[in-house]
Amino acid sequence: MAFKTTRLLLAAAFLGASAFGATAADFTPENPECIAPANPGGGWDFTCRQVGKTLQDLKLLDKTMQVVNLAGGGGGVAYAEVVNKRGDDNDLIVAASSATATRLAQGAFPGNTMDQVRWVASVGADYGVIAVAADSPINTLPELLDQMKSDPTSVSVAGGSAVGGWDHLKVLIAANAYGIEDVRTVKYIAFDGGGEAVTQLLAGSVQAFTGDISEAKGFVDSGDIKVIAVLAPERLSGEFADFPTAKEQGVDAIGANWRGFYAPGNMSDDAYNAWVSKISDLYASEEWKGIMAANGLAPLDLQGAEFQEFVANSVQQIQNISKEIGIIK
């Protein structure tokens, strides 16, 4: 399977990222709004709230950004709402990630394609993690994968994306890298957002959690979970330096979740250019660099047309992976 090729393509996309110079148009949103397509506590919610607060702190917005949680369908409910009912709303942006690209790649938003919205900008990349409850007897990724190999029904893994979604794909990539040939034996249970998935882990309903480091951080800080693997090429810096990578444990699995925004497909060019400019200014700020460092976000600096192209490439790559592991034909 061409996982290695796909990872190299993703890495190239990260390394080749450069800023898209958007001109700030004479547009100011009257009622700025960000839709987080999941319940509070997950990565999309984090993206909306942190970006909204920072835009106001930097005086890039003069009004508070309203955050609306619109969960369902792994982001599909929010996507349909924007496409069908709010296609020309100039005040609206929507949090998106690799999970969004995954659902679009697999045709999981019925009748919807990536071209029905405008892709605004990225604000960083969030490496995937695999974690267990703090009191779990499992302490390493190979221990978890060995258990999956010997008794697949004994391990259920919770994630905040739908079956076949990005959280699911991350644990499948790890399982495949470890030599589990039929990754369809891996038991994955989908929840609406990472916060809900961790809640189920703490309740003992599942044995492991697959998500992103920003989702896991609060639960690590509170002592509820332990991260047994970060799906990064090398250890992260700062307060994340204690988390082992999958790679150093002999499992060559890398999974980076980009985070960014899309906007309604019929948003005016002035509004679109203004949002691109605001997110670009936010990304370049010292304040945002601090937030990225505190939350384990890696650099990914793409705006406007470059971000649109990056998402298109991501969708194509995820389609290829999904075909390889039999999720789509």
Residues 146 and 57 reside in one and the same domain: no
Query: Do the domain assignments include residue 117?
Result: yes
Domain span at 235:
127-249
Q: Buried (b) or exposed (e) across 160-169, using 16+ Cβ within 10 A?
A: bbbebbbbbb
In a domain, 59, yes or no: yes
Q: Can you give the CATH number for the domain in which 110 is found? A: 3.40.190.150
Beta bridge partners of 225: 133
> How do the pLDDT tens digits run along the chain, 329 residues long?
444 434 434 443 443 343 444 445 579 999 999 999 999 988 899 999 999 999 999 999 999 999 999 999 989 999 999 999 999 999 999 999 998 998 999 999 999 999 999 999 999 998 999 999 999 999 999 999 999 999 999 999 999 988 888 899 899 989 988 999 888 899 999 998 888 999 999 999 999 999 988 788 889 999 999 999 999 888 988 888 999 999 999 999 888 889 999 999 999 999 999 999 999 999 999 999 999 988 888 888 999 999 999 999 888 878 877 887 788 88
- Same-domain pairing of 134 and 245: yes
Co-location of 121 and 11 in the same domain: yes
Rounded Cα gap, residues 79 and 52, in angstroms: 20
Shortest CA distance to 261 belongs to which of 245, 247, 246, 277? 277
As given in the structure block, the two tokens for residue 106 are 């697999």
Q: Are residues 175 and 78 in the same domain?
A: no
- Both 54 and 90 in one domain: the answer is yes
| CATH of residue 171 | 3.40.190.10
Q: Tell me if 302 sits within 8 A of 260, measured CB to CB.
A: yes
CA-closest candidate to residue 103, choices 20, 177, 111, 304: 111
User: Domain for residue 329, yes or no?
Assistant: no
Residues 95 and 167 in one domain: no
Residues 9 and 90 placed together within one structural domain of the fold: yes
Co-location of 9 and 156 in the same domain: no
pLDDT at res. 15 = 38
From 192, 221, 249, the end of a domain falls on 249
Say if CB 93 and CB 45 are below 8 A apart.
no
Helix (H) / strand (E) containing 67: strand 66-69
Distances (CA, A) of 204 to 45, 135, 201, 305: 24, 10, 5, 45
Amino acid at 110: P
What is the distance between the alpha carbons of residues 318 and 329, in angstroms, rounded to a whole number?
13
Asked if residue 194 and residue 89 are part of one domain, the reply reads no
Number of domains in the chain: 2
Instruction: Kindly state whether residue 167 falls inside one of the protein's structural domains.
Output: yes
21 vs 50: CA distance, rounded Å = 23
Statement to judge: residues 156 and 299 lie in one domain: no
Residues in a beta bridge with 260: 96, 122
C-beta atoms surrounding 5 within 10 Å: 11
**Count of other CB atoms within 10 angstroms of residue 52:** 20
Indicate if 278 and 184 belong to the same structural domain: no
Burial label, 180 (beta-carbon count in 10 A; 0-12, 13-18, 19+): middle
Written as six digits, the tokens of 313 are 């490439």
